[in-house]
Amino acid sequence: MRNIKLTVEYDGTSYSGWQRQPGLPTVQGELEKALLRISGHSVDLMAAGRTDAGVHALGQVCNFRITTRLTPPEIARIANQLLPGDIRVVKAIGAPDAFHATYHAASKIYRYVIRTASEKSVFDRLYHHSLKRARPLDLAAMRRAALRLKGTHDFRSFQGQTIYKRDPVRTILGVKVVRKGPEVHLEFHGKSFLYQMVRILAGTLIYVGLGKIKPDDIPVILAAKDRRKAGPTLPPGGLFLVKVFYPKDAGKSRRVSKIEEGIE
């Protein structure tokens, strides 16, 4: 079976998130259905980020093993003919045998898109979060707060309620606060993120932009390890998984690199 790596774009509005769930429309479910129709055997997708219901992706990455003799570009083209219009394979390439889109992901960029109410339009209402009142955001304060989020911290204050217990220590490599025409884009580059972490980080930065939280409060919020100290969880429609980074040799000679790790 060949190992194929896909880059996928989707409008998450109509889906109960990435992950396959019985009886619910999911992005993974739709992709697996299309690949099953192509190959005739059931296909198991591994993805870099299991995005929540309503969250979008510009560059989700996943991989799967398949028996078809079609070339990767042919798989992409045919899958796009079978997929609904809100899911699109952007790219398909052959991957090393051991490549795993989840485990080998080195880091990811998520973007949260904000508009103020005065710039509302019905046409992109699903792809950003509109602030209720038309108040200007203090981008300089948001950038000062963003700097204080960088680095390795216990992010328990920025984690949504979940039954899964995971290590709350995460590393944020960078946060950008960018004005793009009528929008403000918040870009979070991190190794990995906790449940709802990006939406809570975005809600906290907006509170900073509105003057409800000071940039200097960020270390205090982190130290509190208390979800109630951070800003609100913003709705999913403004969130995009933008890009996933992999080491150049991801999936190649896995055993050797394990040994190397042991030596270091």
Give the residue, chosen from 85, 136, 181, 262, that forms a contact with a copy of itself under the rule CB under 8 A.
Answer: 85
Nearer to a copy of itself, 8 or 177 (CB): 8
Shortest spacing between CB 172 and a copy of itself, in angstroms: 26
Rounded to a whole number of angstroms, the minimum distance from the CB of residue 139 to a copy of itself is: 24
**By the rule CB under 8 A, 86 interacts with a copy of itself:** yes
- Adjacent-strand bridge partners of 7: 61, 91
If one asks whether residue 123 binds a copy of itself (CB under 8 A), the answer comes out as yes
Instruction: Pick one of 2, 9, 119, 195: the residue that binds a copy of itself (CB under 8 A).
Output: 9
Q: Which residues of 143-164 are buried (b: 16+ CB within 10 A; e: fewer)?
A: bbbbebbeeebebbbbbeeeee
Tell whether residue 88 is a contact of a copy of itself (CB under 8 A).
Answer: yes
Q: β-pairing, 107-116 with 56-66?
A: unpaired
Q: Is residue 122 at the binding interface for a copy of itself, with CB under 8 A as the rule?
A: yes
CA–CA dist 87, 84 (Å, integer): 6
Active-site residue set: 52
Task: Decide whether 86 or 154 has the Cβ nearer to a copy of itself.
Answer: 86
- State residue 249 phi and psi, 5-degree precision: -100, 20
**Which tokens hold the place of 193?**
């993120």
**What element of type H or E holds 198?**
helix 197-209
User: In the stretch 134-173, what mask flags binding to a copy of itself with x, by CB under 8 A?
Assistant: ----------------------------------------
For 65-106, give the DSSP string: EE---S-HHHHHHHHHHHS-TTEEEEEEEE--TT--TTTT--
- Chain residues in the site for a copy of itself (CB under 8 A): 9-11, 56, 85-88, 120-125, 127
